[in-house]
Amino acid sequence: MRGKRNMVFMIILVVISISLIVSAFMPTEPKLTANPEKISIAVIMRTINDDYWRYLQRGADSAARDSNAQITFYAPDFDGDIEGQLKIANSVLESFPDVIILGANADEPFSEFLVKANNYRIPIIAVDSLLTSGTTASYIGSNNFAAGQQAMDEIAQFMGEKGNLLIVNYTFGGINAKLRKTGVLEQLKLYDQIQLARTIECSSEVEHCKDTIKWVYENESIDGVVALMTNPTLASALALKETQLEQSIHIVGFDSSNALLELLQEGQMQTLFVQNPFTQGYLAVKQAVEIAGGKLIPNYTEMPMTKINSENMFWLQNQKLLFPVVN
């Protein structure tokens, strides 16, 4: 009897021992698997010293948090530094991120970079500036040719479809400025009584550009102005404010900033064509995550421009566009 008890006791000890050994190597509670490695996304912008690109960065940051992506931002010191941006882009390429989002300062200078990125099998998503000198996985931005046409139609209405037109462009505007100008000139052909007085090319020095435009206002007959980017729009409006000719000269411009919106409210310009950089940045990162995961993405996502004037700038949907807030 005692022998049987000892035998049962020994069997129980053996079973417990085996259970302890097994549980040590194969615990009943499964270990939590580590988070998958984050997708690495590099965002190369034209500048960080501009409200437009700051808002695009906010949108990209927001999407990166939502998508568990690792995002790094790069930009040259000033907008228009093509060589500096290209140097940054080539350096980023050698770090082999999963995807590169590129808001290029120019088109043709990036042709070799795009070939190299394709050889490395690193997708390039172009934002803001359409790249035609090489292959990109996607473009997220506006139809700038059509935007130029719309701007011409807008200024024509304020001019009563007659008079002298001044076009103010940006030296470092890249393909966007070229397409907008081409759109303006194409649409101008429809207005027989509007003459192109001259075209001014602005550098990044707003003050110098303002003085040049001011001289034109005071010495030539100008009825309307189409300013194709941020700096030209700002310079055109500041020159108008100093000459106090806002009753006889009308301005249609592009982009938005606190300074531009203040001048718009003061009546120094009539209309701003405004993009949505926050949404551009957000969609670019979302598409980057998708293509890195092997999914197909659209090769073109058009971002419409919104016409902002002194009346609708305070509408709720436009306030969200002009001043995006991220919690």
pLDDT at 208 over 50: yes
Tell me which residue of 77, 86, 93, 119 sits closest to 40, measured CA to CA.
93
Q: Residue 20: pLDDT band by 50, 70, 90 thresholds?
A: very low
Residue 243, in any domain of the structure: yes
Look at the chain and report how many structural domains it folds into: 2
Cα dihedral value 286, 292, 297, 302, nearest 10:
40
Q: Of all helices (H) and strands (E), which one includes residue 89?
A: helix 82-93
> Mind giving me the DSSP string for 192-209?
TTEEEEEEEEE-S-HHHH
Does residue 49 sit within a domain?
yes
Nearest of 130, 139, 135, 137 to residue 105 by alpha carbon: 130
Query: 280 and 263 in one domain?
Result: no
Give me the half-sphere count of Cα atoms (radius 13 Å) on the Cβ side of residue 23.
8
Looking at the fold, whether 261 and 190 belong to one and the same domain comes out as yes
38 Cβ neighbours under 8 A, 6+ residues apart: 68, 69, 70
Please indicate, yes or no, whether residues 198 and 115 belong to a single structural domain of this protein. Answer: no
Say if 152 falls within a structural domain.
Answer: yes
In a domain, 2, yes or no: no
Position 324 confidence tier, pLDDT thresholds 50, 70, 90: confident
Phi, psi of 226 (to 5 degrees): -115, 115
Q: Which two tokens stand for residue 274?
A: 């405004």
C-alpha to C-alpha distance for 46 and 49, rounded to whole angstroms: 9
Q: What is the pLDDT of residues 119-153, one digit of tens each?
A: 999 999 999 999 999 999 999 999 999 999 999 99
What's the mean pLDDT when you consider all of the chain?
88
Q: Are residues 282 and 133 in the same domain?
A: yes
Chain centroid to Cα 46, Å, comes to 9
Cα dist. 24→16, 29, 42, 300 in Å? 12, 11, 43, 55
In a domain? residue 322: no
Task: Tell me, yes or no, whether 233 lies in a domain.
Answer: yes
178, 262: one domain: yes
- Domain match, 116 and 180 both: no
**What is the reported pTM?**
0.82
**Domain range for 198:** 144-274
Q: What percent of the chain has pLDDT over 70?
A: 88
Within this chain, do residues 99 and 170 fall inside the same structural domain, yes or no?
no
Q: Would residue 106 count as lying in a domain? A: yes
Let me know if residue 201 belongs to a domain: yes
Q: Are residues 160 and 268 in the same domain?
A: yes
Based on the domain organization, do 232 and 167 belong to the same domain?
Answer: yes
Q: CB–CB of 26/55 below 8 Å? A: no
Residues paired with residue 252 on neighbouring β-strands, in sequence order: 226, 271
pLDDT tens profile 210-256 = 999 999 999 999 999 999 999 999 999 999 999 999 999 999 999 98
What is the band of 49 on the pLDDT scale with cuts at 50, 70, 90? confident
Q: What is the CATH number of the domain that holds 263?
A: 3.40.50.2300
